[in-house]
Structure 1
Amino acid sequence: MKKITIIIFLSLIYLNIQAQKPQLTYPKGYFLFPINPNQQNYLAGGMGDLRSDHFHSGIDIKTQGREGLPVYATGDGYISEVRVQTSGYGNVIFITHPNGFVSVYGHLKTFAEPLASYIRKKRLESQTFEIKLSLKPEEFEVARGQIIGLSGNTGGSAGPHLHFEIRDGINNILNPLNFGFAEIKDNLPPIFQQLIIKTLSTNSRINGEFGKQLFYPTKTGNNYSLNNEIFANGELGLELLAVDKMNGTNNSNGLSCVELFVDGEEQYYSHLEQFPNDVSHDINVHNDYAQEQMKGQRFQKLFQEDGNNSLQIYKPSLTKGKIKITDGKTHQITVKIWDTFENSSVLNFTINGEKKEVSTTISPNTLPVSLTQTLEDNTLIIKARNLKTINSVASFKFAKSTIDLPINYVKNNEAVYLWDLKKGLPDSIKVDGVSKATNFRKVIVPNIDDAFESDALEINFEYKSLYNTLYLQTEQAGNKLKISEVTIPLKSKLDVIYTPENQAILPDKTSVYHIFRNAKSFLKTSWSGNKASFSIKRLGDFVVLTDTIPPKASMMKKTPDDIRIRIGDNLSGIKNFKAFVNNEYILTDYDAKNALLWAVKSDSTQKFYGKLRLELEDNQGNKSAFEANIDTVKVKAKPVIKKVVKTKKNELKNRRQSPKLRTERPKRKHR
């Protein structure tokens, strides 16, 4: 009775919280569509699409694959902020409206006057490319339908389009399509692509195994099913790979709503109608981060992790979407998905709660035993190949004890042992005489300040650094460092102090780099003696590298009206650039994704004559200068005159293709 009372009490708390959540009113018809208003438009990206490290904020409006379309202010108001960025939004405008909403226009090619002149002036004063300006209400007022710029492809854009957002007064990202824009139409339902069923505890099993199992839904109409018999027990979670298609475009967008039912009762509900801008990074706990890092697939979880407590996109649920099957019975699972236009699809399947018998036989051989280890949430997975007998145990060695575990199950002649890390961190594992170090150092729990220290390494954790408990692993060799796995997301940065083994380094030319898929990412590093201090936003592999090579430049075009230069760096990356003509600073724009820099005229009459000097600096402080002369006089190429024999046959052809030089243009004959 006491247990029932507690459950009812908690349910009332959840419902009360949900009831207190403010209901947003969308003033339909208030805003004008910012591109080709009153015409059908198409989207390249939707609200809340699953992106790397963030939810997509707003919508991406197609611009016919080109730049330069007029962008209109969606409503009356004033320009409250502008930015020029190498990445992210690129050239972007923020407009604050009288009703408290803020509209955002990203990846612009150019700004409209007089704003463009104002930005050029401020950039000339600061001698910088990137700039962020906050503006007063009386400085740049705009009217609904006023052209504020031209669409482009600046910043982190992967192709020409307009990124468009609407936010509320406290910086929540809202779905622009909820404001009733008739320019976007869609009657196509979302598509189920793949489903993962995952064990959420060491004792859980799916078809007799631990970990993840992948399934492919089969479509019949708008309904989907699984043609697989699934046996599972314990605590389970579902993960979904699905997309939404829209009329008139091949782009794949995200879902608006996802709902999970178990035996007809709702266990999980998420709705990406709005979310705070500052928690967009929490997509890394909403999604299966490991699946994205290793396979590039963005599966969204249909359950809430314990560390997923900042995103307010979920309906309160006691189970938080986690499915518990302990009764040995068959259970009906239903997943419903919607897009913004409420087009929907449904997936139905069953899970049999009976335990499935798995292989317990091993084919012995004479090959040496090999051990591999992986980490799945709180569970250490040891796989052993080439064992001599099914009775081989795994000895988990701790500082003061050793625990022997039998084989949990066998798959493809490989024995699998499972250890719940909540019971302790083993120093090593030994199977049939073969040992493997685990490299576990410490258990770091979220929501408290903590640190790990050793002779060569110090890692500082703030209370907000982690989503979930981290079973910290470290390895060091030479100038290489490994801090746990890249598959584990961080909520915020960690501060690291590292002493590499190789002391023959140049501190002012040496930094730490994060290594992933052969790509090296520069990390700003400071040195105190032989100790390197740096901050990391990702776990995984790191290396200390020296960069003494300055950036390079190559001239692409140089005329008094147009200067274009390609720039690049071999390792640490471009940090700063400045261009001068006859020792006078000139504005330059930079497209980082194409490594292209070009001169920007301060006004339409400016010409670039004389000596050009481009100064470059990389992130390691290496500097270079590139110089060229721009001709002050345009030299016309001399015409090539061919001697042509006159004949009646080619007289008309010669007259059309090789006209004689004349002091005045001949009059065209009318025919």
Structure 2
Amino acid sequence: MRFLFLALLSCQLMMAQNNYPKDYFASPLEIPLQLSANFGELRTNHFHAGFDIRTQQRTGLKVLSAADGYVSRIKIGTYGGGKTLYITHPNGYTTVYCHLSSGVGEIENYIKKAQYQQQAYEVELFLKPNELPVQKGQIIALSGNTGGSGGPHLHFEIRDSKTEKIINPMLFGFDQSFKDTQKPILSTLYVYPINENTTVNQSRRPLVLNVKLQSDGSYLADHVASNGKIGFGITVRDKDNVSPFKYGVYKVASFFNGNCNYEYTFDTYSFDEMRYINALMDYEKYKTTGQKVQQLFMRKKFPLSIIKTDENNGILTIVPNLASTYRIEVSDFYGNTTTIHIPIQYDSLPAIVPEEKTAAKYPINSDKDSMFEKENVTVFFPKGTFYNDFNLNFDVIDNKAIIHDETVPVHSYYIITMTDKNFGAGNRDKVFIGGVDGKRIDFNSTTLQNDVFTAKVRNLGQFQLAIDTIAPTVKITKSIEGKDIKNQKNIEFIINDNLSGIKSYNGYLNGKWILFEYEYKNRKITHNLDDGMVATGANDLKLIVTDNVGNSTTFETQFLKN
């Protein structure tokens, strides 16, 4: 009877799942599937867009096309997905394969040909259906660790070919490849006073609530006593039966007095929505503690399509003479559910813990443009730069602009301008607006007009004008000067720049451009001698490395191949 009662109270706001084909796509690897990350997992500035499939801590595993189709796009990059293949299928979907070490056969030949034609390692290619057709189960690539990968694995996605929305692979039958009988794991439960007049358990700051495990497997939280508008947040992870990793959860729903008031389900979303993760999370908590608290309310409504709310956007109003109940249900894709019950009552007792004070005095209305100026610095925030209203801390001390701090998320770019006449005319092209992070200065692309330096940035913090007059360093890992390299497979260099960062690197063998692949994680560039560019006998190699403000280093050597 209790189960039926809970079922009747199930959230009416849940998105209906489409009828995705369940047996169309095959596994992209020949080994049993284990995940290190699932769809929708919370990441820095984005939700995870697919599966991270473990490759037994190795690179070079065969990557298979999940279905018949054609290679429609190839993107080779230093960051992000690294080496990535896109295969479009006749059923209206596209599969994506990232962090590859290389393509295979005709695909790899196509990539190399384009790189030499464009004289660039980083290329993006869009193909016609008849150029590189593939069959289901065909080997298309070898797994790797390229781009932003933190270790060897295959990132695998399924997208709608027309809208490019990414879709949870579990909806296509991949749930049959795993076993999961474990409920999501609740780590922390928070309650938030929403405005300055609200107290929660006599506090005007967010509080952690203790929870106790009940005999039926649910959790009961400490009593909440409040006198205004409040919201809740959770930190929660999930596990399955086959992998040691913890994942993001599939669905969260909350109920106030039996009515669903907030819910999100990780079925599908667009890349344009990714950055709204910074509004979904308690961003300040994340930046100060690393904790990813998922807030079950919106202070201001933001357009993240996975979220469905009531008219109050998940915020609860606690009124006198009414005891209330709040329930949170957290589920994985298999329906394993963790339930938290929170009793709530009205309480007019004054706050013992006051609201945290701030020195910030510049009001920001996120729905309007804002501009502030002090000394030689001007900042302009277009409307929509921020998710919520707040008071900005803005100051200029010793020619360093203090623009609040990193605890407030920025959704879109804003503009910083700095006026300065101190840099000599010969060095002004080496000057940029740098983000200050301790002793480190991060490069921002900067323009100069008259005496005004301008940069578009997407984070708050400290900024100053910096000058970079030091060229990059270039070091060959194994000297080849005057040597016969007939038994060598690669030529490798370590390249580094101490301030503005590497912008370009170009190698020339006997006067002809050659391909170097860049792995930023170890600052290494590699030329594969199998490219066939080396001549028999004597060879002259030149490498030119340039940083983001134009400082350049040239390395030259000679070697033999007999």
TM-score of the aligned structures, taking structure 2 as reference length: 0.90
1:473 aligns with 2:393: yes
1:569 aligns with 2:497: yes
Which whole-Å CA distance do the structure 1 matches of 2:392 and 2:211 have between them?
Answer: 37
C-alpha distance after superposition, 1:102-155 (max 9, x if no partner): 111000110112121111111112211111111111111111111110111000
Which whole-Å CA distance do the structure 2 matches of 1:449 and 1:189 have between them?
Answer: 45
Which whole-Å CA distance do the structure 1 matches of 2:37 and 2:535 have between them?
Answer: 40
C-alpha distance after superposition, 1:59-78 (max 9, x if no partner): 11110010011111111111
C-alpha distance after superposition, 1:12-68 (max 9, x if no partner): xxx9xx79x8852210101111112xx531001100000000000011111001001
Residue 202 of structure 2, aligned match among 200, 204, 208: 208
Partner of 1:538: 459
Which whole-Å CA distance do the structure 2 matches of 1:177 and 1:445 have between them?
Answer: 37
1:225 aligns with 2:219: yes
Residue 514 of structure 1, aligned match among 435, 456, 459: 435
1:41 aligns with 2:33: yes
Using the TM superposition, give the Cα deviation of residue 501 of structure 1 relative to its aligned residue in structure 2, in angstroms.
8.6
Alpha carbons of 1:221 and 1:61: their partners in 2 closer, same or farther (altered >3 Å)? farther
Partner of 1:260: 254
Residue 240 of structure 1, aligned match among 230, 234, 250: 234
Partner of 1:341: 334
Which whole-Å CA distance do the structure 2 matches of 1:347 and 1:417 have between them?
Answer: 27
Partner of 1:582: 510
CA contact (8 A) 1:439 1:475 kept: no
Alignment of 1:600-619 (within 5 A): 600-601=528-529, 603=531, 610-619=539-548
Which whole-Å CA distance do the structure 2 matches of 1:254 and 1:529 have between them?
Answer: 50
Using the TM superposition, give the Cα deviation of residue 517 of structure 1 relative to its aligned residue in structure 2, in angstroms.
5.7
Which whole-Å CA distance do the structure 1 matches of 2:293 and 2:421 have between them?
Answer: 40
Equivalent position SS for 1:78: strand
Partner of 2:112: 120
Partner of 1:319: 312
Alpha carbons of 1:101 and 1:265: their partners in 2 closer, same or farther (altered >3 Å)? same
Higher mean C-alpha deviation, range 217-226 or range 471-480: 217-226
Using the TM superposition, give the Cα deviation of residue 247 of structure 1 relative to its aligned residue in structure 2, in angstroms.
1.7
Which whole-Å CA distance do the structure 1 matches of 2:473 and 2:533 have between them?
Answer: 30
Partner of 2:154: 162
Using the TM superposition, give the Cα deviation of residue 518 of structure 1 relative to its aligned residue in structure 2, in angstroms.
5.0
Which whole-Å CA distance do the structure 2 matches of 1:49 and 1:229 have between them?
Answer: 30
Partner of 1:624: 553
Paired amino acid for 1:465: T
Paired amino acid for 1:327: P
Higher mean C-alpha deviation, range 23-32 or range 84-93: 23-32
1:139 aligns with 2:135: no
1:109 aligns with 2:101: yes
Partner of 2:519: 591
Alpha carbons of 1:228 and 1:449: their partners in 2 closer, same or farther (altered >3 Å)? closer
Partner of 1:487: 407
Which whole-Å CA distance do the structure 2 matches of 1:328 and 1:250 have between them?
Answer: 48
Which whole-Å CA distance do the structure 2 matches of 1:476 and 1:221 have between them?
Answer: 58
Alignment of 1:41-190 (within 5 A): 41-168=33-160, 169-181=162-174, 182-190=176-184
Equivalent position SS for 2:521: helix
Paired amino acid for 2:399: N
CA contact (8 A) 1:329 1:354 kept: no
CA contact (8 A) 2:166 2:269 kept: yes
Which whole-Å CA distance do the structure 1 matches of 2:216 and 2:32 have between them?
Answer: 26
C-alpha distance after superposition, 1:231-254 (max 9, x if no partner): 322111111111011222221110
Partner of 2:6: none
Which ranges in structure 2 are unaligned for 5 or more consecutive residues?
A: 1-11
Which whole-Å CA distance do the structure 2 matches of 1:541 and 1:577 have between them?
Answer: 30
Equivalent position SS for 1:290: helix
Alpha carbons of 1:68 and 1:418: their partners in 2 closer, same or farther (altered >3 Å)? closer
Using the TM superposition, give the Cα deviation of residue 487 of structure 1 relative to its aligned residue in structure 2, in angstroms.
1.5
Equivalent position SS for 1:303: coil
Equivalent position SS for 1:315: strand
C-alpha distance after superposition, 1:340-388 (max 9, x if no partner): 2222111223234223455xxxxxxxxxxxxxxxxxxxxxxxxxxxxxx
Using the TM superposition, give the Cα deviation of residue 335 of structure 1 relative to its aligned residue in structure 2, in angstroms.
1.1
Equivalent position SS for 1:514: strand
Paired amino acid for 2:310: S
Partner of 1:460: 380
Partner of 1:32: 26
C-alpha distance after superposition, 1:638-661 (max 9, x if no partner): xxxxxxxxxxxxxxxxxxxxxxxx
Using the TM superposition, give the Cα deviation of residue 441 of structure 1 relative to its aligned residue in structure 2, in angstroms.
3.8
Using the TM superposition, give the Cα deviation of residue 482 of structure 1 relative to its aligned residue in structure 2, in angstroms.
1.4
Paired amino acid for 2:165: N
C-alpha distance after superposition, 1:512-556 (max 9, x if no partner): 122346543210111223321000111121122111111112221
Using the TM superposition, give the Cα deviation of residue 500 of structure 1 relative to its aligned residue in structure 2, in angstroms.
5.0
Using the TM superposition, give the Cα deviation of residue 629 of structure 1 relative to its aligned residue in structure 2, in angstroms.
3.1
Alpha carbons of 1:41 and 1:456: their partners in 2 closer, same or farther (altered >3 Å)? same
Partner of 2:472: 551
Using the TM superposition, give the Cα deviation of residue 317 of structure 1 relative to its aligned residue in structure 2, in angstroms.
1.2
Which whole-Å CA distance do the structure 2 matches of 1:605 and 1:524 have between them?
Answer: 35
Which whole-Å CA distance do the structure 2 matches of 1:417 and 1:193 have between them?
Answer: 25
Paired amino acid for 1:589: E
CA contact (8 A) 1:586 1:600 kept: no
Which whole-Å CA distance do the structure 2 matches of 1:64 and 1:418 have between them?
Answer: 48
Which ranges in structure 1 are unaligned for 5 or more consecutive residues?
A: 1-14, 359-408, 420-435, 634-671
C-alpha distance after superposition, 1:598-657 (max 9, x if no partner): 103464685796232211111121110122333435xxxxxxxxxxxxxxxxxxxxxxxx
Using the TM superposition, give the Cα deviation of residue 439 of structure 1 relative to its aligned residue in structure 2, in angstroms.
5.5
Which whole-Å CA distance do the structure 2 matches of 1:555 and 1:458 have between them?
Answer: 44
Higher mean C-alpha deviation, range 256-265 or range 194-203: 256-265
C-alpha distance after superposition, 1:188-236 (max 9, x if no partner): 2110001111111111112211121123544457835356443322111
Which whole-Å CA distance do the structure 1 matches of 2:144 and 2:331 have between them?
Answer: 31
CA contact (8 A) 1:256 1:340 kept: yes
Partner of 2:5: none
Alpha carbons of 1:273 and 1:70: their partners in 2 closer, same or farther (altered >3 Å)? same
Alpha carbons of 1:173 and 1:222: their partners in 2 closer, same or farther (altered >3 Å)? farther
Using the TM superposition, give the Cα deviation of residue 503 of structure 1 relative to its aligned residue in structure 2, in angstroms.
5.5
TM-score of the aligned structures, taking structure 1 as reference length: 0.76
Alpha carbons of 1:518 and 1:47: their partners in 2 closer, same or farther (altered >3 Å)? farther
Partner of 1:277: 271
CA contact (8 A) 1:442 1:452 kept: no
Residue 294 of structure 2, aligned match among 273, 295, 300: 300
Which whole-Å CA distance do the structure 2 matches of 1:555 and 1:417 have between them?
Answer: 57
Higher relative contact order structure (alpha carbons within 8 Å, sequence separation ≥ 6): 2
Report how many aligned residue pairs link the two structures.
541
Using the TM superposition, give the Cα deviation of residue 298 of structure 1 relative to its aligned residue in structure 2, in angstroms.
1.2
